[in-house]
Amino acid sequence: DAGVIQSPRHEVTEMGQEVTLRCKPISGHNSLFWYRQTMMRGLELLIYFNNNVPIDDSGMPEDRFSAKMPNASFSTLKIQPSEPRDSAVYFCASSPQQGSNYGYTFGSGTRLTVV
Amino acid sequence: KNQVEQSPQSLIILEGKNCTLQCNYTVSPFSNLRWYKQDTGRGPVSLTIMTFSENTKSNGRYTATLDADTKQSSLHITASQLSDSASYICVASRYNNNDMRFGAGTRLTVKP
């Protein structure tokens, strides 16, 4: 298995532009998570899906952020409009089942820079 | 206030030496505690996971301990190698959900 695949690896965009981050979870994993990592705040959970349904989006910072999971093999995290304070590394992770006792596999992340 | 505190923030050791990283948590009700290794530019990779009934778990040269009474965990690295240079993140989870609280990590540098 290729693991959790994220694209792009790096994204540089101008303030105000729309940014879309993509994630392909491990085949057969039913839960998918989006995290954001910054030096100041460490890793923060933004949203997670179980069986393609959003379960908890309380970590999404504001309405500029949205996430979708149209099918079991693909998810997107969109920021519109982007702001410099959104600059961070965004990780996607997947897990076989819902519940913290199951192993999480992280992707390599997307480093977003908003200038 | 973060519910997972790690120390030290950073650590430099010589190759071949041992080291111990600390993690204190206040997550409740407690389900499990994980240690992750995160190489620069990569996602975190799980090293160990322990439930409240386990007090030690090993993965090669990595040994994690857990004291559920004092809510403390440690990660001991034996005979360090240059490839151990990374951030080590402690994660405490609440019972029966996906609520995982991440520590800020300890940045370990192993020098030759």
What's the one-letter identity of residue A80?
Q
| Residue ranges in chain B whose pLDDT is less than 50 | none
Burial class (CB in 10 A: 0-12, 13-18, 19+), B40: exposed
Flag whether residue B31 sits within 8 Å of chain A, measured between CB atoms: yes
The residues, ordered by sequence, that sit 6+ positions from A110 with a Cβ below 8 Å of its Cβ are: A6, A7, A8, A9, A10, A11, A21, A89, A90, A91
CA pair distance B104, B98, nearest whole angstrom: 18
pLDDT score recorded for residue B100: 84
pLDDT band at A87 (very low <50, low <70, confident <90, very high): very high
Least Cα separation, residue A103 to chain B (angstroms): 8
Cβ proximity of B20 and B75 under 8 Å: yes
Least Cα separation, residue A95 to chain B (angstroms): 10
Task: Give chain A's mean pLDDT.
Answer: 93
CB contacts < 8 A, A to B, total 52
Give me the DSSP letters along A49-112: EETTEEEE-TT--STTEEEEEEETTEEEEEESS--GGG-EEEEEEEESSSSTTS--EE---EEE
pLDDT score recorded for residue A1: 63
Would the pLDDT of A96 be above 60?
Answer: yes
pLDDT score recorded for residue B1: 56
| DSSP for residue B3 | S
pLDDT tens by residue, A14-60: 999 999 999 999 999 999 999 999 988 889 999 999 999 999 898 99
* B102, closest residue in chain A (CA to CA): A43
